[in-house]
Amino acid sequence: MDLDQGGRQLAGLILDAASNGEHDQVAELIAPLDAEQLRSLVTVLAVQVDQSAPTSSATGPAAVCELAINAAAPMFGTTAEAIRSAERSRPVSDARAVAMTAAREVGLSLPVIAEHFDKDHGSVIHAVRRTAERPRLADAAARITAHVNDRYTAQLPRPEATVVPLHPPASTFEPDGPVEHAVVAAAEAFGTTPEVLLGADRSRAAADARAVAMTAARIHGHSLPAIARHFDRDHTTVLSATRRIEKTPPLRDLAAKIAADLPEQPASSIGDVVEHVPEPGHRSPGLREQQRAVPVAAERSQLRVAR
């Protein structure tokens, strides 16, 4: 099928089926298409959705998410309303993941995307990773990202001072050592600044970003007291944060990725306390065993003076 000539008609059929919730019909329509035709179809669908959607003067992160949702919905035979809902069917989940990924690629932070989709940012991380692992979803996300970039730029008001920033505010923080590099990487992932992570902000996004940075530093080999000093907190706070991240797979994987990218630096050069990790099966000696190992004065050999 030549999508240059038949793309509009096919897109119209898909939009009609999607609006009626006919997922199987959409799947049948796109099944014969190869990768290049699918890429072309995404562009045609995005244009038709924009032409049929009501014009909105909204700008900012919400508008970016809406553009991504509206472009992703017909590709997977679903609706924008279904993507925003709690529905977990395969077509809706795929469309939601692609829309989240496009919003992320445009530059929105994890918390902002999570808020608009009424999910937590762990869900956004999982969606972005799942999209990257599936070529069909990744290709759709790339096309929608380019489309959103074009449309969003066209909608931005002028002068530039009125534009809602999509990226985190500027920071003057200069990292020195692996732990601080972990702070910078976690702050970037959550669309905030290192100053927020090192400060007293206790919002959910700040707390999770801070915990991810702490966990990344811990994975890298730094001790609890050393990490605590960087954050001006006690080591029990660090321990609690790392345990919480370990129970949240998407955030745990993010921490591991950050840790893998940290610069190597000897722990002794940054004042870390190297902790001894006992071998599996090792049992620490009890108090009585320790006492037996230390001879008392009466049991020590006596010096004899030759007469």
- 151 and 8 together in one domain: yes
Q: What is the pLDDT of residue 115?
A: 87
204 lies in some domain: yes
Please give the model's pTM, rounded to 2 decimal places: 0.53
Same domain, 89 and 153: yes
Q: Is residue 297 part of a domain?
A: no
Q: Is 25 in the same domain as 121? A: yes
Q: Same domain for 232 and 145?
A: no
- Whether 153 and 12 map to the same domain: the answer is yes
- Residue 202 placed within a domain: yes
Pair 158, 255 in one domain: no
Rounded Cα distance, 141 and 68, in Å: 9
Cα atoms in the Cβ-side hemisphere of radius 13 Å centred on 289: 4
**50 assigned to some structural domain:** yes
Instruction: Print the domain residue range for 184.
Output: 178-270
Is there a single domain that holds both residue 56 and residue 132?
Answer: yes
Whether residue 256 is contained in a domain is answered as yes
241 is a domain residue: yes
* Helix ranges (DSSP H) in the chain: 3-19, 23-30, 35-52, 61-72, 80-84, 90-106, 110-117, 121-133, 135-155, 178-189, 194-198, 204-219, 224-231, 235-246, 249-260, 287-293
pLDDT digit string (tens) for the chain, length 307 residues: 344 456 666 766 776 776 666 777 777 777 777 766 666 666 666 555 554 554 444 457 888 888 899 888 888 888 889 999 989 899 899 999 999 999 888 878 888 888 889 888 788 888 988 898 888 898 888 888 888 877 765 554 443 333 334 455 567 888 888 999 999 999 888 878 899 999 988 887 788 899 999 999 999 999 999 999 999 999 999 999 999 999 888 888 889 999 998 987 644 444 444 443 344 444 444 444 444 444 444 443 343 444 4
Q: What is the CATH number of the domain that holds 93?
A: 1.10.1750.10
Q: How far is CA 49 from the centre of its chain?
A: 28
Report the alpha-carbon distance of residue 4 to residue 10 in Å, rounded. 11
Does 235 lie in the same domain as 96?
no
The verdict on residue 223 lying in a domain is yes
Domain count, the chain: 2
Collapsing DSSP states into helix, strand and coil, what is residue 282? coil
Count CB atoms within 10 A of the CB of residue 274: 12
Let me know if residue 304 belongs to a domain. Answer: no
Statement to judge: residues 131 and 191 lie in one domain: no
Query: For 118-154, how does the pLDDT look when each residue is reduced to its tens digit (9 = 90+)?
Result: 888 788 888 988 898 888 898 888 888 888 877 765 5
ω into 263 cis (within 30 of 0): no
